[in-house]
Chain A
Amino acid sequence: MENSSFEYLCRTKTGFGKNALDHLPSDLSAMDAKKPFVITSKAVAQSGVTAHLIDAFKESGIILGIWDNALNDNLVDTLRDLTDLYNNKGFDAIIALGGGVVADLSKILNIIVSKGPHALKECKGTDNIDAPLKPLVYIPSGICTGRETSRYACVAEYAYDSQFLMPDIAVIDPRMFSKAPWEDMVNEALRSFTNCLESYAKEDNPLIRSYAYTALGVIMEALPNIMESDLPNNNQSQDQEHLPLLAKASVINGYLISNCDTLVCRPLGKMISEKCSAPEGVCMAIILPYVLEFLCKDRETGRILLPLAGIERYCAIPDTQRFGKVLFIIREIINDFFRISNGRVPRTLEEAGLKQEDLAGIVESMSKRTDIESKALALILDNAMSGRSMTSS
């Protein structure tokens, strides 16, 4: 461990907590930005959180341009209009306020306004952006996917992967969160939980493990609140205290997925989700124990328990039992969600609606993206279908 070499890049300054938004004018000025362009969606604008953003800029002398129509369709046409707007009005920075679509749109707009219209095609793919772009700020206002703060962006057929796409600043201010549906929160929590736990288990990189440990601590703090306070029978969350915590974990999750490109649960969960009714995060969490059982067979695996159980419980459990306890905790979380949601959050892939005949296609697609053999992938999915432990098969 001491002799191992590693790399880690996080270009983003993260601001979290009460009045974090009030630092933004000063932070933007430090980057020589005088006129930011705010991109958001209609839903976010209607929730009233833009008022807090405007309030944070009072007394700063900075003029804001706000565009609030980020939708999932016609994104390429929208990008053309936004580029004209950005250039004609003389903006010099971008603030993405909202979730995944807003962040993707903002990142790609940033490529175009920094490099020119030709960059939309030229910068496609991996590491084709060779210099920093204009200042980009990301402000979450509800459910996040983790991609927002990552090095990835995708709009229609245009997909980009570059370190320069990570935002310069991410601000998580509790005032900016409106209520979110319970299922979406569960999905967000389980997505971050799975990515962080897998990164922590797989990587020997001490910085990845530090970030993952921090995010796991945040998620473990938020999980009991989600379970206890928000019964899924209410369509809307009653308590939004844990939303900023989940956003914090998602923001860190973005830094992790930018630095770990060998994660298995993330692409596998996405593929499974496309074939069944369960959302991506839930699918990822269902397969997580099986992936860990497979990946961590020959490794020093007990350490994963530390972020999940805390130092006292970790020390109380013998080294030989720690990995078993990790799997128990993960399954317990999923089973608890199943119980609380009256079965709406599935425990197995079968309950998620995945059909046995879809497995072969998923294994074939996934084996092209990972070094795990097809046979092992099939075993992981087969066990996850029924909820059977890998050791019993």
Chain B
Amino acid sequence: MKRKLNYPRIIGTIIIIILIISIVIGLSFNSQTKEEIVIGSIQALTGETAKHGNNVKDGIDLAVEEINKNGGVNGKKIKIIHEDENCIPTKAVSAAQKLINIDKTKIILGPTCSSSSMAVAPVAEQNKVIMFTPISSVPALRQAGDYIFRNRVSGEPHSIKMANFAYNELNARTASTLYINLDNGISYSEEFIKEFEKLGGKILNTEAYEKGLQDFRTQLLKIKENNPDVIYLAGQASQNAIKQARELGIKTQIIAPTTLQEADLFDIAGDSANGIYYSYESFDPNSKEQVVSYYQEKYKSKYGRESEVFAANAYDAVMLISKALEKCEENTDCIKNHLYSIKNYEGVSGITTFDKDGEVLKPLIIKKTENRKFVFHSN
């Protein structure tokens, strides 16, 4: 007796075989098409840090568009694959693994957040993949490896500059810090304390807040009871702290590192955010210098708004990488050495030099918030 054919089973098997074949073909094609250079990008595209991540993404996209319009790198177009890290280190690491193992990228731009960068750095280092973060500022990244670079001045010079400004210009002798409980916030706070105490100042208390938490009242109350001369507000997502300080009647001078300048600062904290001094990269969005005004024009026509420093950092990072690629193709040892050799590169975000640890050096300035605007204060 003939057995009845099991049609669904046969069709199912055929479908699975076709699927496997097409995946295999797809994968091999993927690795064979070498007409383009694939660069990975890991940014915080959602969450509280999304504004920064998206600014970085915009800067990257603008630079890539420009490079590709001018014929690419040695005739090859650059293709960017953006991944979201949401400022969560584990997400950043899986994104890096995906970019390295599946997309076979040799270069990763990002991550956005310092904690994520610290987590991704060993993965990149192990795979000899260049990790070039446009904006992570945690000082510890300096020791993270030979293939690790950044295009933003580390948090250390920022904190040192603000400690000196507080002690010498504001004549502050006591200070409290309020920092985000992440790598960058902790180091901003620690470096500030070190320098301020070295100058002879006294730290009255240090308070932390968790990422995502919007209630700063009890931390502020503790600071209010200590009544310091200045409050060093170290780290992102602190807009509500400024608002709540005002609501609690705290009149103490607030100072901050570069993280203060966020587009929504005055939407959230209103006039209470006026009168804050903070350190900032020397990038001047209204600069008449040709490099900057040319960049700013292109940025405005693409996005309809002015570029801030993080987009400029990202733009410069892509340009630096493309120059390295021109010379080295995708040989990461060559790219690494090329980046180390860069001195006084005239970037949009400032005169850029890399030291022997892959640490970027750019001048810093002091800015102030005035009439709901971020203005230049002093050098």
Partners in one complex: no
